[in-house]
Chains A and B, each alone.
Chain A
């Protein structure tokens, strides 16, 4: 009755190896960290999605944290390590979700306009937010202001709280709160712009 045996044990040295390997430069380290987190998350998501029944949701939080456990393990990797992990996890979650939605919507129709039906999203999220539109809007935001884009990803794709995001981004909470309000308005407008061309 247990499926534990099918999950390979995480390599305990993995995280220290990765964290040692990542240089201080943040852009590069996230890139190097990403595949690791990404693979783990995708594998987990697939096995969970296969198991859950109709009407139930998959907790992406749980995914992220399970990935955390597998990649990082029991040891706290410190701020640097947490920042790398959650940065990579946010990116990975975003990729995974977008990929899932894309394949579903592609199966459904080949229309240019992307439109998703709520029930199809179940199993992944209850959020009514249109992930694909958000993804597109996020791409635009990234081109203009990487900081804001990172904030949105941390908040939305890994479910970090404001204080936790502030810690990861290494800025005061007040700044995060300020930026968040502006960014939300900006993204909302952008998403509407995409939806109604």
Chain B
């Protein structure tokens, strides 16, 4: 026998060998079994047996494969559960076997002896049903049932009662599996599933035409059998539900069976008070069936339904919003989603993509809660399913351009398809469009000319006038085409966003101004489209430019429809939200006002209710009253016809009656506008009010958006994301997680995966995971998404700050183990950008980060292609300046990016500066544009000499200095750059003071940036020996922070850090004690933030001797933190050591799990030394010395060194 090692080798070789072609086997053996004949023999014999094991063990001792009863078992999954035993004979039928059990009773395979001998299916209805009544009804329907004659319907042959009085039905016996089992077992592709379902619809339609509603369509009632090798579905049980009574079997407590049935039941059918159930109820069930076939899970969640009354169960189901199949597929955890995708022979991504669009729309239409919005018949559903298969536009939902493009791509895909085709289409469209533009303009001129002619010379023939009109129409068509092209380039619309988008947009952007000189409406539409496109690809500067112009144009035109004005305003507000240093609030409020106006047009009352949500004085309304008002409003919105369940009409009322009652139906645009208002209110109130209010508002908005058939857009994703955030804090991490997942998917569908908005959504997911206690996943997601955002947008961008806040919050809660694993760099950047900036001056590790930081800064500032966008603003008289900037821009665009020659670069910058001075005064608006362009172009060039940087900074100060309030960060940065210039040290203080006043004026003295600038100023003054002055000012700032923000505010902690560094520099670290004491006391009293507690404790532990009273506090803080996290950290033993209690410290250290925090090693070394274990202390020192240790740790390392040295002596 082989030893275990060789046994393993044997297995591995076997796995490979089975894939090796026979001819190559000898070589394989020679290579892998050389010198081991036994192994070779074993392998050979196993391979021989592998050949002839085709049947061996292939089928188990049992016949049919079964599925495991899953966690949430419904009737269909438990059909194998043989609840009742088998009767021998029922009527004239000989029972052979039990083949299933369903909601109404058990099904048996039986044999009919007379008049013909055949096998039939026999269904015995459950005992508690009234047999006589059932039979009566059946007799009533018998004639109609007999009229059904369709290959897709299993006919009912007979009915009767058993000896014990239970009714039974006899049906054609259809061997096969349920439609869902069939598709999963055969790994049917999506189109095969759709085709199968279309056949089911045909059968159902046949019955509908005979006036028979099935009422109980579900997978177990649709049996699929192979006929001539092709799967053919057959609907069974037609007429039974109607005979038994549609809801009778739901009467007593909803068991698994009843719930299983309830799933497929249309809302109006499930309502016991409603007697009016028509064929559209079957359409709903077909929709559920479609959902299940496509996604593999039921559309609504069923957890917790078991044991509830059917009334409750119905309500729970009715309250759930329908998640489109693609989103549901995206929201599934991967261990569920992966096998489902595989069973459809698709990758997960392709699966989701295939579902989105037409299939989403078809399911949404079939499953509209209001049956008037459903397909009117099964045949309409079938037709749409077949249109999908034929790649034609489906009737469901709008026919979007995206749909047409995607169909075009699907139709023309031959063999391999990559994103390239789409990119190609976009580029081709762009090229064509500029040609068509010229054509259109020519046509337009021609048309105008012809029209004038027609007016002037009466004798012009009628035909010529038609020609003119046609030319006009053509021009318009071309304009539309171009608009579509732009929309096509918009990644919300196209399938595969590509870098080449920029080309398209640049091209379009350059033409807009001139080509639409006499067509402000056209220009506005085009600029709006461009703005949206730029916004979507994350180019806020570009987007802002176009949108502001579009808004200006639209506001100036009386003819602008309200919808357009609103759309542009809200988009601009969105762009502001994502831009640095922009106040989006006024624009947001304006957008909300317009939204109210929009609603007012169809429903003034509703608008009046929405109105207060726009006003800021709402903040004064008490929470309880506000929530009550919201509940009212939400109820009203639900009742707005066209959404929610339609009121059950009396059976007698003519079909048109309920439609007529609809009255003030809100259109799609208005509904989304109302959602906008709610979003806005949540944003305004969210910061100042209880979270419950925010959750209410966003929930209501989400409901409105979800109600829209195709509301799978970014707005919906935004609302979902924000609601997810609130829910995390509101204690519902599970729902938050689901919302976050679906929003990720929505973003991913239109944006590249590393886009910051996708990553921001992932960060939200991380927050939800952390709140749900799934730290391992959360850690990875949060760290990863933050890093991606920093890479894409820079560490100071609003998005990075948001992601960082979540990461820090998680790390705070997760304890030292998690923090230790987080890369130091991430932590530094996360904690605050400013903290890093001040750190980097004195910490060796932060020093190493500097190039990375510079590059990140460059990326965020240097949105590519900003200059070409601004270029259009310069007239021909400024050609030399434009040329100089172009030259600089070309250098930036040089392939290989970082390879440009510093001298060349300097010269290019100098040329621009010179040209500016020659052609423009410093206070010209265009000069400001040049300055901004320079700043944009600079950070990407780390090789630019310091002198050039100073030149640019000087230019910024010269040109923008007077208007510093607009761009305070830009000016302050420039001043700091200049202050760092050693050549002008004399002006350093003046510049720093000016930077400080710029920041203080713009952001207030306690702003993060202001505090940072102040710390720089303090260091500068310190270096000049003005210690007393520095100290006084730092203490003043700290006091101001404490008094105005409170001692636990982050900015106050920042001020304390500056103070700490100051005292350390001054060689009096102990003087920090009174300030630190306040922080520690405040934190211990009110905070539950372990990481902060430890950070403060560290301040007291760093110096070898510190006010013992404060060290006592640090000990307390450390203990508190340990209790909070449940993990012992080194802070407690360190504090004990500092308090002169080394024995206790030693004991405490034993409970601390080793981390890679060098501070921990240092204290281990110190304790070991104090306890007389020099070898251990030396070990710690060696480890410390192997690390790059910055000045922050320097004194501590020196302390260890001294302690070890003392031992030696």
Minimum CB–CB distance for B345 against chain A, Å = 15
Asked if B53 lies at the interface with its beta carbon under 8 angstroms from chain A, I say yes
Assembly CA distance A158 to B65 (angstroms) = 9
When distances are taken between beta carbons in the complex, the residues of chain B under 8 Å from A134 are 57
Asked if A102 lies at the interface with its beta carbon under 8 angstroms from chain B, I say no
**Residue pair A159, B60 in contact (C-beta under 8 Å):** yes
**Residue pair A59, B62 in contact (C-beta under 8 Å):** yes
Given contact pairs A155-B57, A184-B56, A185-B53, A2 touches B62 in the complex (Cβ within 8 A):
no
When distances are taken between beta carbons in the complex, the residues of chain A under 8 Å from B164 are 2
Q: Choose among A124, A157, A189 the residue that contacts B60 (Cβ–Cβ < 8 A).
A: A157
Type the 1/0 row for B35-61, where 1 means its CB is closer than 8 Å to any CB of A.
Answer: 000000000011111101101110111
When distances are taken between beta carbons in the complex, the residues of chain A under 8 Å from B64 are 59, 61, 159
Nearest A residue to B60 via CB reads A159
**Residue pair A69, B67 in contact (C-beta under 8 Å):** no
Q: Which secondary structure dominates where chain B touches chain A?
A: loop
Nearest A residue to B11 via CB reads A182
Minimum CB–CB distance for A72 against chain B, Å = 8
CB contact list, B55-86 vs A, under 8 A: 55-57, 59-73, 80-86
Q: Choose among B46, B86, B255 the residue that contacts A185 (Cβ–Cβ < 8 A).
A: B46
Nearest B residue to A72 via CB reads B69
Assembly CA distance A187 to B53 (angstroms) = 9
Interface residues on B, range: 35 or more
Q: Choose among A2, A69, A124 the residue that contacts B81 (Cβ–Cβ < 8 A).
A: A69
Given contact pairs A78-B71, A181-B50, A188-B56, A156 touches B61 in the complex (Cβ within 8 A):
yes
Assembly CA distance A140 to B46 (angstroms) = 16
Question: Across the A-B interface, how many residue pairs have beta carbons closer than 8 Å?
Answer: 129
Of A56, A158, A188, most B-chain CB atoms within 10 Å: A188
Assembly CA distance A175 to B812 (angstroms) = 39
Assembly CA distance A7 to B86 (angstroms) = 12
Asked if A149 lies at the interface with its beta carbon under 8 angstroms from chain B, I say no
When distances are taken between beta carbons in the complex, the residues of chain A under 8 Å from B46 are 182, 185-186, 189
Give the contact stretch, choosing among A13-21, A35-43, A160-168.
A160-168
When distances are taken between beta carbons in the complex, the residues of chain B under 8 Å from A161 are 65-67
Asked if B256 lies at the interface with its beta carbon under 8 angstroms from chain A, I say yes
Minimum CB–CB distance for A135 against chain B, Å = 12
Of A93, A124, A129, most B-chain CB atoms within 10 Å: A129
Asked if A29 lies at the interface with its beta carbon under 8 angstroms from chain B, I say no
Q: Choose among B49, B61, B71, B82 the residue that contacts A159 (Cβ–Cβ < 8 A).
A: B61
**Residue pair B72, A76 in contact (C-beta under 8 Å):** yes
**Residue pair A185, B339 in contact (C-beta under 8 Å):** no
When distances are taken between beta carbons in the complex, the residues of chain B under 8 Å from A158 are 60, 62
Asked if B88 lies at the interface with its beta carbon under 8 angstroms from chain A, I say yes
When distances are taken between beta carbons in the complex, the residues of chain A under 8 Å from B11 are 182
Asked if A8 lies at the interface with its beta carbon under 8 angstroms from chain B, I say no
Q: Choose among A76, A125, A188 the residue that contacts B69 (Cβ–Cβ < 8 A).
A: A76
Nearest A residue to B50 via CB reads A185
**Residue pair A76, B73 in contact (C-beta under 8 Å):** yes
CB contact list, A143-197 vs B, under 8 A: 144, 152, 155-161, 163-164, 167-168, 173, 178, 181-182, 184-189, 191-192
Nearest A residue to B95 via CB reads A1
Given contact pairs A1-B163, A164-B67, A65 touches B81 in the complex (Cβ within 8 A):
yes
Minimum CB–CB distance for A82 against chain B, Å = 6
Asked if B87 lies at the interface with its beta carbon under 8 angstroms from chain A, I say yes
When distances are taken between beta carbons in the complex, the residues of chain A under 8 Å from B7 are 144
Q: Choose among B66, B70, B83, B255 the residue that contacts A61 (Cβ–Cβ < 8 A).
A: B66
Minimum CB–CB distance for B186 against chain A, Å = 13
Q: Choose among B14, B60, B96 the residue that contacts A155 (Cβ–Cβ < 8 A).
A: B60
Nearest A residue to B64 via CB reads A61
Minimum CB–CB distance for B69 against chain A, Å = 6
Asked if B89 lies at the interface with its beta carbon under 8 angstroms from chain A, I say yes
Nearest A residue to B51 via CB reads A185
Assembly CA distance A87 to B143 (angstroms) = 52
When distances are taken between beta carbons in the complex, the residues of chain B under 8 Å from A31 are none
**Residue pair B72, A185 in contact (C-beta under 8 Å):** no
Type the 1/0 row for B1141-1183, where 1 means its CB is closer than 8 Å to any CB of A.
Answer: 0000000000000000000000000000000000000000000
Assembly CA distance A158 to B63 (angstroms) = 10
Type the 1/0 row for A88-129, where 1 means its CB is closer than 8 Å to any CB of B.
Answer: 000001000100000000000000000000000000111111
Asked if B15 lies at the interface with its beta carbon under 8 angstroms from chain A, I say yes
Minimum CB–CB distance for A190 against chain B, Å = 9
Asked if A24 lies at the interface with its beta carbon under 8 angstroms from chain B, I say no
CB contact list, A29-71 vs B, under 8 A: 56-57, 59-62, 64-66, 68-69
Q: Choose among A1, A125, A168 the residue that contacts B88 (Cβ–Cβ < 8 A).
A: A1
Q: A56-B96, A74-B73, A76-B70 are in contact. List 5 more A-B contacts (CB 8 A).
A: A65-B81, A125-B62, A131-B61, A161-B67, A182-B11
- A sample of 16 cross-chain residue pairs with beta-carbon separation below 8 angstroms, ordered by A number, consists of A2-B164, A3-B85, A4-B85, A59-B63, A61-B64, A61-B66, A76-B70, A76-B71, A127-B60, A128-B55, A129-B57, A160-B66, A164-B67, A182-B11, A184-B53, A185-B47
Residues of chain B at the chain A interface (Cβ within 8 Å): 7, 11, 14-15, 18, 45-50, 52-53, 55-57, 59-73, 80-89, 96, 163-164, 255-256, 339
Residues of chain A at the chain B interface (Cβ within 8 Å): 1-4, 7, 56-57, 59-62, 64-66, 68-69, 74, 76, 78, 82, 86, 93, 97, 124-129, 131, 134, 144, 152, 155-161, 163-164, 167-168, 173, 178, 181-182, 184-189, 191-192
Which 10 A-B pairs have CB atoms at the shortest separation, nearest pair first? A159-B62, A61-B62, A185-B50, A159-B60, A185-B49, A60-B62, A4-B85, A189-B49, A188-B49, A164-B68
